[in-house]
């Protein structure tokens, strides 16, 4: 879907553009009309002025030019008059050698029109039919339009410039207003990113605009609810398994005692107990792996890995093991619950510690959109023929390849919960077993 901001930008900008355009066109025609009207009015005044000084009686036809305005004197001054009475034609001096084509009118009739005048300029003309002795004379006044038009263009042009400046200002304004009113949205985005990266455990409601606040509140509520639910089911599962393990420990004690008297029965019972125990460990690890969780509960690298390494060094105190990390600096978190991550990596590293001579290498890096994690050791490794057995799905590893038992089964179970792909091969660097986990993250 198109973003609201883009939509608003497009709509507002086009609205402003269209309204400006319409108002400009309307303005132009209004102005033009007004200009035209003012010229016609002016011509009406001119014609009455000329008519006043025109004498058409008793066979004498004359115009008292000295009574008229000086505009009619200079040649091509732009204001003209012409009187046609029968064969006689009287012209203003300003017409000079030019003459206006005038149609004959009836008495009292007026005509308004435009034509080409002296110097090929457009002129506005007004004619009036004036009755005299034995006919009708036609008095015509004219005005050159070019000067007025020039003025009009200048006026209209400066108005246009002004409008254009306004338009640009408005569009810039729209961008600025939209940008600043959508700033809180960017804030929400940042808050969500923080949440995802685990820097916050809920959205900061105080910073939210009123429109988004209810959404954020609902989101926070939901977040809290799921995290409480997840924690509750984690605790319940933990309690269940811990509750089962102490009776199991008692049973194993009894079985060990029984083994002194009846070794065969004891062995059968021991195997069953071992199966129950393995089942509990595996199911506990997977059932608790909830997949989605509060980011703040995610595994932090390398802090949590340091803790694991220190613990493993204590567990394997009789070995001198060097653990090297190669963790891409931009990776500070693994997208899994800390407890699951600890269980996964704990078992991976435990397996490496078990088999290593002295060196274990842990690498975490991002390749395209994939998060990659490898654990390598310099132990004897696994024979080529057995490698594919490790990879096989749904098989119990402890039945398949001796020595890589319950721990790797748990690793596989957790990996499956988190949709991690797991692969086994020979470590090119250290020569022992290399276990490779690949996470194709959708929101990397």
Partner 1 sequence: MKLLLVEDNELLVKELTKQLKAAGYVTDVAASAMDADYLLKESPYDCVILDIGLPDGNGLELLQHWRQQEIATPVIMLTARSQWHEKVEGFNAGADDYLGKPFHTQELLARLQAVISRSNGRALSPSKQLSFGGITLDESEQTVEVGEQRFELTAMEFRLLRIFLLSPKKLLSKNQLSDKLYQFDDEKESNVVEVYVTHLRKKLGKSAIETRRGQGYIFHGLE
Residue numbers at the binding site for partner 1 (CB under 8 A) = 238, 241-246, 248-254, 256-257, 273, 277, 281, 284-285, 307-308, 310-311, 314-315, 317-318, 338-339, 342-343, 345-347, 350
Strand partners, 140: 82, 127
What is the DSSP secondary-structure string of 400-435? HSTT--HHHHHHHHHHHHTTEEEEEEE-TTTSSEEE
In whole angstroms, how close is the CB of 176 to partner 1 at the nearest point?
Answer: 51
**CB closer to partner 1 out of 244 and 436:** 244
Q: How far is CA 291 from CA 11, 36, 417, 419, in A?
A: 43, 80, 6, 9
**CB closer to partner 1 out of 281 and 413:** 281
CA–CA dist 146, 210 (Å, integer): 61
In whole angstroms, how close is the CB of 366 to partner 1 at the nearest point?
Answer: 24
Nearest in space to 127 (alpha carbons), one of 53, 64, 44, 41: 44
Q: With H, G, I as helix, E, B as strand and everything else as coil, classify residue 328.
A: coil
**Is residue 150 reached through a cis peptide bond, with omega within 30 degrees of 0 on the bond before it?**
no
Strand partners, 112: 126
Residues 6+ apart with CB under 8 A from 246: none
**CB closer to partner 1 out of 78 and 346:** 346
**CB closer to partner 1 out of 8 and 300:** 300
Q: Token pair for residue 358?
A: 């002295």
**CB closer to partner 1 out of 111 and 252:** 252
In whole angstroms, how close is the CB of 235 to partner 1 at the nearest point?
Answer: 12
**Bridge pairing between strands 322-327 and 359-367:** parallel
**CB closer to partner 1 out of 123 and 408:** 408
Residues 6+ apart with CB under 8 A from 63: 50, 53, 54, 55, 81, 83, 90
CA–CA dist 359, 309 (Å, integer): 12
**CB closer to partner 1 out of 37 and 256:** 256
**CB closer to partner 1 out of 343 and 376:** 343
CA–CA dist 333, 299 (Å, integer): 6
In whole angstroms, how close is the CB of 405 to partner 1 at the nearest point?
Answer: 14
In whole angstroms, how close is the CB of 244 to partner 1 at the nearest point?
Answer: 8
In whole angstroms, how close is the CB of 230 to partner 1 at the nearest point?
Answer: 15
CB 65 within 8 A of CB 141: no
In whole angstroms, how close is the CB of 179 to partner 1 at the nearest point?
Answer: 46
In whole angstroms, how close is the CB of 328 to partner 1 at the nearest point?
Answer: 23
Nearest in space to 397 (alpha carbons), one of 282, 237, 315: 282
**CB closer to partner 1 out of 12 and 342:** 342
Using a 10 angstrom Cβ sphere, with 0-12 exposed, 13-18 middle and 19 or more buried, the burial of residue 162 is exposed
CB 333 within 8 A of CB 299: yes
CA–CA dist 341, 354 (Å, integer): 19
**CB closer to partner 1 out of 83 and 411:** 411
In whole angstroms, how close is the CB of 318 to partner 1 at the nearest point?
Answer: 8
CA–CA dist 319, 401 (Å, integer): 23
In whole angstroms, how close is the CB of 251 to partner 1 at the nearest point?
Answer: 7
């Amino acid at each position: 879907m198109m973003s609201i901001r883009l939509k608003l930008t497009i709509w507002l900008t086009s609205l402003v553009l269209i309204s400006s355009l319409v108002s400009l066109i309307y303005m132009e025609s209004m102005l033009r009309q007004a200009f035209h009207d003012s010229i016609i009015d002016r011509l009406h005044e001119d014609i009455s002025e000329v008519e006043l000084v025109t004498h058409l009686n008793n066979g004498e036809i004359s115009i008292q030019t000295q009574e008229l305005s000086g505009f009619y004197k200079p040649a091509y001054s732009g204001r003209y008059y012409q009187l046609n009475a029968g064969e006689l034609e009287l012209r203003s001096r300003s017409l000079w050698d030019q003459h206006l084509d005038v149609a004959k009118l009836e008495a009292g009739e007026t005509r308004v029109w435009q034509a080409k005048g002296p110097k090929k300029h457009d002129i506005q003309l007004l004619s009036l039919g004036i009755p005299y002795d034995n006919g009708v004379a036609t008095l015509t006044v004219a005005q050159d339009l070019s000067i007025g038009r020039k003025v009009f263009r200048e006026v209209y042009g400066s108005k246009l410039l002004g409008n254009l400046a306004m338009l640009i200002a408005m569009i810039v304004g729209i961008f600025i207003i939209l940008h600043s009113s959508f700033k809180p949205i960017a804030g929400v985005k940042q808050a969500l990113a923080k949440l995802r990266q685990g820097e916050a455990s809920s959205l900061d409601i105080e910073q939210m605009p009123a429109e988004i606040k209810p959404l954020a509140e609902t989101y926070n509520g939901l977040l809290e609810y799921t995290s409480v639910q997840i924690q509750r089911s984690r605790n319940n599962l933990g309690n269940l398994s811990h509750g089962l393990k102490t009776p199991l420990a008692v049973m194993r004690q009894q079985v060990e005692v029984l083994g002194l008297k009846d070794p065969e029965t004891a062995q059968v019972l021991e195997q069953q107990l071992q199966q129950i125990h393995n089942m509990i460990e595996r199911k506990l690890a997977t059932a608790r792996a909830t997949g989605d969780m509060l980011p703040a509960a995610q595994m932090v690298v390398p802090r949590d890995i340091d803790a694991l390494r220190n613990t493993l060094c204590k567990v394997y105190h009789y070995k001198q093991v060097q653990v090297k990390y190669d963790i891409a600096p931009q990776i500070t978190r693994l997208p899994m619950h800390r407890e699951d991550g600890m269980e996964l990596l704990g078992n991976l590293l435990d397996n490496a510690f078990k088999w290593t001579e002295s060196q274990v290498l842990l690498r975490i890096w991002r390749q395209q959109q994939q998060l990659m994690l490898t654990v390598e050791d310099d132990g004897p490794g696994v024979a080529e023929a057995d490698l594919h057995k490790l990879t096989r799905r749904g098989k119990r590893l402890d039945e398949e390849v001796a020595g890589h038992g319950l721990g790797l089964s748990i690793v596989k179970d957790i990996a499956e919960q988190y949709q991690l792909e797991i692969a086994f091969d020979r470590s090119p660097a250290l020569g022992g077993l290399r276990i490779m986990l690949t996470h194709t993250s959708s929101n990397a």
